[in-house]
Structure 1
Amino acid sequence: MAIQDIALSIVGKIVEKCVDPILRQFQYLIFYKSNVQTLSDDIKILELKEVEVQQLVRQAKDNAEEIKPTVVDWLKRVEDVKKDAHTISEAMETAKVNCLNIVRLPNLKSCYLLGRRAAKRKSALEKLLGEGNFDKVGSIAPLGKMGFSESTPSLEEGLVSRMSTKKEVMEALKQEKTSLMAICGMGGVGKTTLVKQIADQVKFEKLFDEVTMATVSQSPDMRNVQDQLAEQLRLKITEQTDRVRAERLYTRLTGHDKRILVILDDIWKEVDLKSLGIPVKGECKSLKVILTSRSSDACRDMGAEIFEVNVLPKEEAWHLFKEVAEISDDSALSGVAKQVAEECKGLPLAIVVVAKALKSNHTPESWDRALRQLRKDRMGNLRGVQDLVFLRIEWSYNHLGTAEAKHLLLLCSLFPEDSSIPIECLVRNVKGLQLFQDIENLRDARDKVDLLVDELKNTYLLLNDAEEEDSVKLHDVVRDVCLSIASKNEHEFLVSNSGVGEKNSYTAISLISQDSNHDLLPFCKEYPRLRLLRL
């Protein structure tokens, strides 16, 4: 390289390092107005982009999604740039007064600083515009924020025996040696309520990172149980083979460094946990399993530590009754209300159902009448507490306001145990069977069903379905009572898993078998009274 070229290169670098920065500083002063105007124009473009992103954010929140941290940060930086640009615009107005003042010389320093700030903010603004093209602003939020139990602290504190059992289970959950436990008791004694309270407690104490719960029921669909657990764990099981499905769930339960509590509600017989994909016998120390069941033998056969739940003592039964019926100890109704509560024999389900049914009665005469009816219906021939449950629920059924409400409740019992019952399906069945008078079209039927569903919910004979919108659920014990009622007199329902039976007097048949072989399907000539067939 020639000496001349080397000299030119050195001079060029000197110019680049020294002269250019100096010229840039003069440009801040000379073009300060255009810099501020350009910034103002770009801010308007940025604001339009911000509106678009905010709209995407609202849509994501409406879809219960969590907004990504990068989006939150971008929106914050946009606000900071907008505030700074607003400050520059205000300062520009002041600079105009100073620069155009006839008496005073222009404030060159203010003009220079404005031009410099505007130029630098323009660079930050252009960067924000480039970063604001989000394909997706949110992600599905993790589940588990909503509590399992609906009971209030004041109600729980009054049930000392339940609090004691809850404490025992909580202590067992903290023991490393205990991996499988079961809460056992008769139907309606409050096993599900108790295990939901335990689920909320372990979440509150952060004893487990994740809690997942599935209903098994009398005729379990193991794939459905897997899907219930997987959905709460944000796991998608797409495989069809039983073993591979089980392995997928097994991997999720054991493949993370997380403490997981699995709750299987309403076990009727021994369940092969391994075929479900749930580790057993301490294979995974960070995993615990709680069962609820009416059969302690089935749970013992599975190797579970048993915690029995019995009916409530007299004082606790009264506490629960008065909380539900909203009666105080010094109320004029407290005397007869205590006697009514005693007739429920400490069974929580019976207490809640009867208390809710009588909640709207405000006169001693109506309560006295209800007490006489309850005592009369007992017939003095009970074989056990299970019979009492049936009689208490049957009593509530008999005291529904209308025959239409009774028909609708019995219709719900034709659906599979623990299943979601779509209200629209009830509407169409009611209309097709012509169960209601003065109903001319589906709209009238829908209005009537909505009113009756509310009535049945208010008496706790129907439950809200937390999983499916516009659906209800029937407690399994209430369903058993309804089927018992429906098997008599003019109804004669059959709900079967294995076949249609031999009687030809059924008015409704519901086949809930998973077997696709329906060689025994009834025909009208064999069942002349049949009006409804559900498959």
Structure 2
Amino acid sequence: MGSEWGLSAASGLVAPLLVDYLVKPIERRIRYLFRFHKIVQELHQNQQDLAAKETQVKDDVEEAKLQIRTQVIYDQVDEWLTKAENALKDVKVLDSRIEENKRCFRLCPNWCWRYQLSQEIENKTLEIADLVKKSEFKRVGHRAKLPNLNLVTSKDHVDLKSSEAAFNKIMEALKDDKVKKIGVWGMGGVGKTTLVRNVGGEVKGFDRVIMVTVSETLDIEKIQNKIADNIDLKFEKKTGEVKAAELWSRLSNGKFLVILDDLWKEWNDDGDLRKIGIPLVKDEKGCKIILTTRNYNVYQHMECEKTVQVKVLEDDEAWTLFEMNAGLKKADSHVIGEAKKIAKECKGLPLAIVTLAKALKGKALDRWKDSRKKLERSALMEIPSIQTEREKNAYISLKISYEHLKNKMSQTCFLLCALYLEDDSINVEDLVRYAWGLNLYDKTNSIEEMRIQVLEVINYLKDSCLLEDGDVGRYVKLHDIVRDVALWIASEEGSSFMIKSRMEILNKSSESSKAISLLGSGRKKFPDRLMHSKLEILLLNNCDIQGTCFLGMRELKVLNLTAVYGTGVISLYALTFLPKLRALHLDSFEYFSFLGNLTTLEILSLSGWVFKGFADELEMLENLKILDLINCAFPGGFQSKVIQRLSQLEELYPPRLHINNDIFLEIKFFTRLRRLFVEVPSLHCPLDFKFPELEKYKIGINGYSIHFGYREMSGFGYTFDTARSLKIEEVFPYNAFSQLVGNLESLEVSKIKD
């Protein structure tokens, strides 16, 4: 009985094994030979399923990247996409072999070949089926951990005990869960911004450190946009409340350190933070705030849980900083004696110490003595709006640094930077065009030569600590105290370049002014009964001005005029009374009658809509060296033939849209042309076409890209991110572009046909 039961159990186990190891392999082999078409059909069905899944996953990835530009795609998703792509390529290879097998099998059947091919097809089908099964991803990626501010340490950095103590206090406060807001206060130029920037570069435990300059005039939208740029947030709508809600939502989902630099006025505490969209930290989510201010009452009103005062340097620290920046290690003992007196007169203010030390570095003894005497006499001088002796000495120190600049061009470029609003980033290209218009360096024969001179001056001013790097690219900034000093210098009656930058000052007196700048966004009315006989540069934004105001401006060389929105604008006939006008920027003008009468123009820049009549006027401006229309829209299209008489052009920036593709037929005759930025929808070049000897260019063919290598700006110009670039789609006209290929910095081609 037991033996029968054992035999029965054994047979029950053996039977399935026999099926698995003997029957199924035989069945599979037979299937390879006689069900070939069915196997191929299964392959193609799985191929379709995988292609559909691949498209779906790719769409999910693109959607994730679109929503958050810093999205990091999971490795397994990238790996799956790679395998899917390779599998689909393998199917194409198999298809060609399948077709070849079918043809040969009809003529001379090769069962061995068909067997091997069927086996390969089935293996690939199983692989694809597995990929389809693994294509269901709950999430395709995650938000990247955003980096902190880059800590840029000067090569001349000095470790000072007072700065280190303040730094450590802030770092300890940031670790305290009870501290949400930290106030850093001290007088202007004492080093508050440098301190908090260093904190931002060193601190750990935050998803992102965001630094925003607030300035004297609070601009909520500007602050919102700056924060959004820092966290890669693209606003869906433009209204302030909606922006605040979007910022609040994003910042509430992480842990951020927000540095609000240079607060001047008391905020309504958390209410103003809510208006911007900054949520204070709660349960490890939201924002901790560091604010810097000169005003003790500001951080008190903001109810900061921790305050850190940044004081001026002690005498020994001040001397260490001065000695290093003036390079006095091997100096004569008499120079060192004068230097110690000067360092003491700087009253421990780092900004004054560094700028004056660098200005006097390497100078003769008599220059040191002269600077010391000026500083000592400064106590007797009256400087408007300066209340303390220490601030007064800071002004005098910076003025002496200005006086030690090597030439008039350096001094004038420095003062030109003061024409911009406080904390504005200043486009170097604007300064190049102003310099040309004012003829600051009369030995230059071309715009490019002037640009070289201006760039050299900019670097010199940076080395002198009178200019700082701007937020991006070729932009610069003035420290607010340095700007105040520049305006003070330029407001003195004896100044060679007197500037008026506020309406109340302008209304009092302007006869001696060489520069007037009213760039604020608020609407203004330009005084029409004042004389401006010495005025050389006039920058106006949103300012009502009568045409008769220009009658007395016989020396005006540079004019930047943005019309008041929604109102009529002056007739350009008024500008015909400006016999020395060389550079002109017009924004939001629509009609250009009499523009052709401005025959002295060498730089013309326009922004906004341009209607009929422009072409006839433009062709009369035969002395133009720069024509910048890149921010213009021509509803009727831009006809390239209008530029054919502008034989003196050195730089051409045609509009990005509505441009005729025959523009290259005109360009080839511009033998002086050195810079070109152009995008056209197609290209028709004769076989013998040759470009002029271009030094810088951005050329796009067949595909528009609004952000193709330029940076938009207010005023006269924009900057090149790379100097020589081609972007071409569909057809590469090698004959036309062969001379440019050899010195390219950037080449982007796509959809090129054979």
Normalised to the residue count of structure 2, the TM-score between the two structures is 0.52
Deviation at 1:484, TM superposition (A): 0.5
Cross-structure match for 1:40:
none
Cross-structure match for 2:365:
368
Q: What amino acid is the match of 1:507? A: K
Deviation at 1:300, TM superposition (A): 1.5
Secondary structure of the 2:211 match is: strand
Cross-structure match for 2:161:
160
Is 1:265 the counterpart of 2:257? The answer is no
Deviation at 1:510, TM superposition (A): 1.2
Equivalent residue for 2:520, pick from 509, 513, 526: 513
Q: In structure 2, do the counterparts of structure 1 residues 444 and 523 end up closer, same or farther at CA, with 3 Å as the change threshold?
A: farther
Q: What amino acid is the match of 1:379? A: E
1:411-490 equivalent positions in 2, closer than 5 A: 411-465=416-470, 467-488=471-492, 489=494, 490=496
Equivalent residue for 2:219, pick from 218, 221, 233: 221
The answer on whether the counterparts of 1:524 and 1:530 sit within 8 Å (CA) in structure 2 is no
Q: In structure 2, do the counterparts of structure 1 residues 214 and 116 end up closer, same or farther at CA, with 3 Å as the change threshold?
A: same
Secondary structure of the 2:26 match is: helix
The answer on whether the counterparts of 2:214 and 2:261 sit within 8 Å (CA) in structure 1 is yes
Q: What amino acid is the match of 1:478? A: V
Secondary structure of the 1:346 match is: coil
Deviation at 1:292, TM superposition (A): 0.6
Cross-structure match for 2:499:
493
The answer on whether the counterparts of 1:246 and 1:275 sit within 8 Å (CA) in structure 2 is no
Deviations 1:290-343 (A, max 9, x none): 11111112222232343211111233334434554566xxx4238645625445
Q: In structure 2, do the counterparts of structure 1 residues 15 and 176 end up closer, same or farther at CA, with 3 Å as the change threshold?
A: closer
d(CA) in 2 for partners of 1:507 and 1:415?
15
Deviation at 1:397, TM superposition (A): 0.8
Is 1:348 the counterpart of 2:346? The answer is no
Deviations 1:173-221 (A, max 9, x none): 333333222111111110001111122232xx31x33321110112232
d(CA) in 2 for partners of 1:528 and 1:153?
47
Deviations 1:402-440 (A, max 9, x none): 100100010000001111111111111112222222234
Q: What amino acid is the match of 1:390? A: Y
Deviation at 1:245, TM superposition (A): 3.5
Cross-structure match for 2:393:
388
Task: Tell me how many residue pairs correspond in the alignment.
Answer: 453
d(CA) in 1 for partners of 2:406 and 2:419?
22
Question: Once structures 1 and 2 are overlaid, which stretch shifts more, 427-436 or 522-531?
Answer: 522-531
Q: What amino acid is the match of 1:487? A: S
Equivalent residue for 1:211, pick from 204, 209, 212: 209
d(CA) in 1 for partners of 2:123 and 2:364?
80
Deviations 1:347-368 (A, max 9, x none): 2112322343355x3xxxx363
Q: What amino acid is the match of 1:172? A: A
d(CA) in 2 for partners of 1:199 and 1:478?
24
The answer on whether the counterparts of 2:405 and 2:411 sit within 8 Å (CA) in structure 1 is yes
Is 1:296 the counterpart of 2:287? The answer is no
d(CA) in 2 for partners of 1:446 and 1:354?
27
Q: In structure 2, do the counterparts of structure 1 residues 279 and 430 end up closer, same or farther at CA, with 3 Å as the change threshold?
A: closer
- Which runs of 5 or more structure 1 residues have no equivalent in the other structure? 1-13, 30-52, 82-107
Q: In structure 2, do the counterparts of structure 1 residues 15 and 230 end up closer, same or farther at CA, with 3 Å as the change threshold?
A: same
Q: What amino acid is the match of 2:149? A: G
Deviations 1:470-509 (A, max 9, x none): 2111111111111011112232211127784221322211
Deviation at 1:271, TM superposition (A): 2.6
Deviation at 1:240, TM superposition (A): 4.3
Cross-structure match for 2:190:
189
The answer on whether the counterparts of 2:186 and 2:310 sit within 8 Å (CA) in structure 1 is yes
Deviation at 1:130, TM superposition (A): 13
Q: In structure 2, do the counterparts of structure 1 residues 470 and 311 end up closer, same or farther at CA, with 3 Å as the change threshold?
A: same
Secondary structure of the 1:260 match is: strand
Deviation at 1:400, TM superposition (A): 0.8
d(CA) in 2 for partners of 1:334 and 1:251?
62
Q: What amino acid is the match of 2:232? A: R
1:46-445 equivalent positions in 2, closer than 5 A: 68-69=73-74, 70=76, 72-74=78-80, 120=123, 124=127, 144-145=146-147, 147-151=149-153, 155=157, 158-202=159-203, 205-206=204-205, 208-253=206-251, 255-256=252-253, 258-273=254-269, 274-277=271-274, 284=282, 286=284, 287-304=287-304, 305-324=306-325, 331-333=329-331, 336=335, 339=340, 341-358=343-360, 361=362, 366=363, 368-382=365-379, 384-445=389-450
Is 1:532 the counterpart of 2:532? The answer is no
Deviation at 1:345, TM superposition (A): 3.3
d(CA) in 1 for partners of 2:291 and 2:421?
21
Secondary structure of the 1:379 match is: helix
Q: In structure 2, do the counterparts of structure 1 residues 128 and 455 end up closer, same or farther at CA, with 3 Å as the change threshold?
A: farther
Deviation at 1:74, TM superposition (A): 4.9
Larger helix percent: 1
Q: In structure 2, do the counterparts of structure 1 residues 122 and 326 end up closer, same or farther at CA, with 3 Å as the change threshold?
A: farther
d(CA) in 2 for partners of 1:534 and 1:511?
6
The answer on whether the counterparts of 2:72 and 2:144 sit within 8 Å (CA) in structure 1 is no
Q: In structure 2, do the counterparts of structure 1 residues 252 and 353 end up closer, same or farther at CA, with 3 Å as the change threshold?
A: same
d(CA) in 1 for partners of 2:164 and 2:440?
45
d(CA) in 2 for partners of 1:232 and 1:459?
30
Q: What amino acid is the match of 2:498? A: E
Q: Relative contact order: is structure 1 or structure 2 higher (C-alpha 8 Å, sep ≥ 6)?
A: 1
d(CA) in 2 for partners of 1:426 and 1:281?
40
d(CA) in 2 for partners of 1:380 and 1:295?
28
The answer on whether the counterparts of 2:185 and 2:293 sit within 8 Å (CA) in structure 1 is yes
Q: In structure 2, do the counterparts of structure 1 residues 347 and 22 end up closer, same or farther at CA, with 3 Å as the change threshold?
A: farther
The answer on whether the counterparts of 1:243 and 1:275 sit within 8 Å (CA) in structure 2 is no
Secondary structure of the 1:417 match is: coil
Q: What amino acid is the match of 2:464? A: T
d(CA) in 1 for partners of 2:174 and 2:358?
34
The answer on whether the counterparts of 2:212 and 2:227 sit within 8 Å (CA) in structure 1 is yes
d(CA) in 1 for partners of 2:29 and 2:235?
63
The answer on whether the counterparts of 1:217 and 1:266 sit within 8 Å (CA) in structure 2 is yes
The answer on whether the counterparts of 2:186 and 2:293 sit within 8 Å (CA) in structure 1 is yes
Q: In structure 2, do the counterparts of structure 1 residues 494 and 196 end up closer, same or farther at CA, with 3 Å as the change threshold?
A: same
Deviation at 1:170, TM superposition (A): 2.2
